[in-house]
Structure 1
Amino acid sequence: MTSLPNFTDSLSQLIACSSISSTLPSWDQGNLEVIQLLATWFEQLGFTIDIQAVPDTSNKFNLLAKLGNGEGGLLLAGHSDTVPFDENRWQSNPHQVLNQDDKFFGLGTCDMKGFFAFILQVTKDLNAKQLKKPLYILATADEETTMAGARFFAKNQHIKPDVAIIGEPTNLVPVVMHKGHMSHRISVEGKSGHSSKPNLGINAIEIMYKVIGQLIKLKETFDTNYKNDAFDVPAPTLNLGAISGGDNANRICGHCHLDIDLRSLPGMSDAELINWLSDALKPLAEQYPGRITFEEMHPSSPSFEQKKQEQSISECFISVAEEISGHSCCAVNYATEAPYIQQLGCQTIVMGPGSIDQAHQPNEFLAHSEIDKTEKILLSMIQRYCLS
């Protein structure tokens, strides 16, 4: 049997497997190399391995590894892909770990291939015969774009662990709430013509100007009427992210597009957001029949909230996570795979090493100081939910 790598070597091997997810075909890659590497390691440790192709993706796969038998247990989950990178802003090769200044630099060290390197280390000495409940490890595909891997897993798996930890970088603070995310493209169809005769055309930019005015009013409504103080940005947000239109200064603009981003609070449904958006644009849609449309750019991600269970403190996962981590639970503004994992019927938290401030940034890193803390937390969770 080939000896298993130590933490530094396993992290280096994972980072060397490029697995970028992007909506741009020129950047988008498969993740099979990462999945096969993880499968090789965990199979050596006695885990049963299940690799599944994710439908409607290009060469993307999920991995589920299981050690032990029975019901319940612990699921440790994370995504196997990374975002693209700007090579000119990196001071080292993004796909080679640079161990320097008590930090591991590399694309995915923090977000979030490093989590799997930690899992490998803490499972090296586990004996399946000693486990009273199973330990599951899930590596998903395409989290950074469509979350297709987690969506597929939630719909097609029949496991039901007692609890799940998603190892996104939270500085090892348990996250029990986050906002949802959806994005839409608003399109205005005008009528082009010569700029010297504006009355013979319909300027799409001028209509979009009015659309933006309605969206600003909707933002103000969110700020005034909807708040959740668990978040540092307590209201739902609406961001005007990108705009394009027209082709020449001396032509009446015939087309204009605006891409917007909406982040909802827990308890808000996609249908509510779409209704608010429709109501905001309705007066203009009636004024300019057939000229204003909006469509979802990619599948939305729901908000997430893990409420405290009506159990004893020793059985409530939130209480256990706070006790083991030494941190109070919190809410974050970004989206994760947590709502999909929660659909398995398990208590779910997001908690992992590293800071979200490093994610999606040039010179992404994972600090050496995270190693002992992360391994102790994972070992404590395995002890409580699989060995006790």
Structure 2
Amino acid sequence: MNVEEILARLIAFPSVVGAPNGAIVDWVREYCEAAGAEVTVLRGPEGDRSNLFVTIGARRARGYILSGHMDVVPAGEREWHSDPFVLRQDGARLHGRGTSDMKGFLACVLAAVPRLAAMNLPQPIHLAFSYDEEAGARGVPHLIAALPSLCEKPLGAIIGEPSRMEAVRAHKGKAAVRLEVIGRSGHSSRPELGLNAVHAMAGLVTQIVAYGQTLAIGPFDTDFAPPYSSLQVGVIAGGQSVNIIPDCCTADIEVRAVPGVSPRSLLEPVKTQLTALRDSGFEVAWHELSAYPG
């Protein structure tokens, strides 16, 4: 199979982050085993998704890892004019969910597997494919923990994230949290009898956005674009009907921190603002979704 054929097969798997990924894992495993590679499937604690590790060449020598993730973000954007899980060619471009991030890289690597397996490599090439990267790299820690039993200490790793073909030596640290505000429900005709969680969250989000804008004043690291830490509110959910006072509202936010700044420390002012809602009678909760250093 050539790169385009492999990419079409990979795109056809709707391996959306947070969903079971057994189908794509099984296909990659069977493909690599057919080429003579050694494959280990590492089931994650969720029970319905797995990492995958492939060794080509001498296992007990030190080698390099080619690493990527099998999951993709959801494809709910209105800009899609075709099935996002069917590879489509438009001139010199290939379109489909994950063509760039990052099944294109996986396809390039897999296309080389038969040739690499035929070389009898004295130093191995390893493939490390993880799950749920798009949810804060939830799968790869389990894969990293298993590395000592899978191979000798690697000489290095190449992570095939889209970077416009420029070498990137590091990434920002990140932390993501879900804020939950719990009020008191009631009929919209008597707002004074309820506690509107959406209204409270709206005020909180306004404060959070204003705080996020202050991060642009530094500290700076010019190796990154933008050269400062950042904050985003990505998802807000709450309410069930326009005539019911919403008793619950959640907001998912993330911060990305330049080196030398702890992502969790950037969230402390947000936690303080959330906790202050208790003074108005609301209950609040703080759920960490993911965190990793830069």
Q: Do the structures match in fold with TM over 0.5?
A: yes
* SS in structure 2 at match of 1:181: strand
**Cα distance in 1 between the residues matched to 2:107 and 2:237:** 43
Tell me which residue corresponds to 1:350. none
**Cα distance in 2 between the residues matched to 1:107 and 1:273:** 32
For the Cα contact (< 8 Å) 1:218–1:280, is it kept in 2? Answer: no
Q: Per-residue displacement from partner, 1:290-333 (whole Å, max 9, x unpaired)? A: x25232262x14243xxxxxxxxxxxxxxxxxxxxxxxxxxxxx
Tell me which residue corresponds to 1:50. 40
Tell me which residue corresponds to 1:66. 55
Residue 66 of structure 1: CA displacement? 0.8
| % identical equivalent positions | 30
Tell me which residue corresponds to 2:164. 171
**Cα distance in 1 between the residues matched to 2:29 and 2:242:** 57
**Cα distance in 2 between the residues matched to 1:193 and 1:44:** 62
Residue 131 of structure 1: CA displacement? 2.8
Residue 80 of structure 1: CA displacement? 1.8
1:34 alignment partner AA: I
Residue 137 of structure 1: CA displacement? 1.0
Tell me which residue corresponds to 2:4. 8
1:45 alignment partner AA: A
Structure 1 residue 141 corresponds to structure 2 residue 95: no
Work out which of the residue numbers 16, 20, 30 in structure 2 matches 1:21. 16
Tell me which residue corresponds to 2:204. 211
**Cα distance in 2 between the residues matched to 1:199 and 1:31:** 48
**Cα distance in 2 between the residues matched to 1:207 and 1:92:** 39
**Cα distance in 2 between the residues matched to 1:120 and 1:213:** 46
Task: Name the CA shift for 1:204/1:120 in 2 (closer, same or farther; >3 Å).
Answer: closer
Structure 1 residue 288 corresponds to structure 2 residue 261: no
Greater shift in the superposed pair: 33-42 or 242-251? 242-251
With structure 2 as the length reference, what TM-score do the two structures score? 0.80
Task: List gaps (5 residues or longer) in structure 2.
Answer: none
Q: Which protein has the bigger strand share?
A: 2
1:266 alignment partner AA: P
**Cα distance in 2 between the residues matched to 1:99 and 1:208:** 43
CA RMSD between the two structures: 3.3
* SS in structure 2 at match of 1:263: strand
1:261 alignment partner AA: E
Higher relative contact order (CA 8 A, sep 6+): 1
Residue 153 of structure 1: CA displacement? 0.4
Residue 170 of structure 1: CA displacement? 1.6
Residue 270 of structure 1: CA displacement? 4.3
* SS in structure 1 at match of 2:99: coil
* SS in structure 2 at match of 1:178: coil
2:111 alignment partner AA: Q
Tell me which residue corresponds to 2:122. 132
Tell me which residue corresponds to 1:116. 106
With structure 1 as the length reference, what TM-score do the two structures score? 0.63
Tell me which residue corresponds to 1:107. 97
Task: Name the CA shift for 1:201/1:265 in 2 (closer, same or farther; >3 Å).
Answer: same
Tell me which residue corresponds to 1:384. none
For the Cα contact (< 8 Å) 2:40–2:52, is it kept in 1? Answer: yes
Task: Name the CA shift for 1:108/1:275 in 2 (closer, same or farther; >3 Å).
Answer: closer
* SS in structure 2 at match of 1:117: helix
Task: Name the CA shift for 1:286/1:135 in 2 (closer, same or farther; >3 Å).
Answer: same
Residue 56 of structure 1: CA displacement? 1.0
Task: Name the CA shift for 1:226/1:276 in 2 (closer, same or farther; >3 Å).
Answer: farther
* SS in structure 2 at match of 1:51: strand
For the Cα contact (< 8 Å) 1:186–1:292, is it kept in 2? Answer: no
Task: Name the CA shift for 1:155/1:87 in 2 (closer, same or farther; >3 Å).
Answer: same
Q: Per-residue displacement from partner, 1:168-207 (whole Å, max 9, x unpaired)? A: 2222211122223333333333345677776655554554
Residue 150 of structure 1: CA displacement? 1.0
Tell me which residue corresponds to 1:315. none
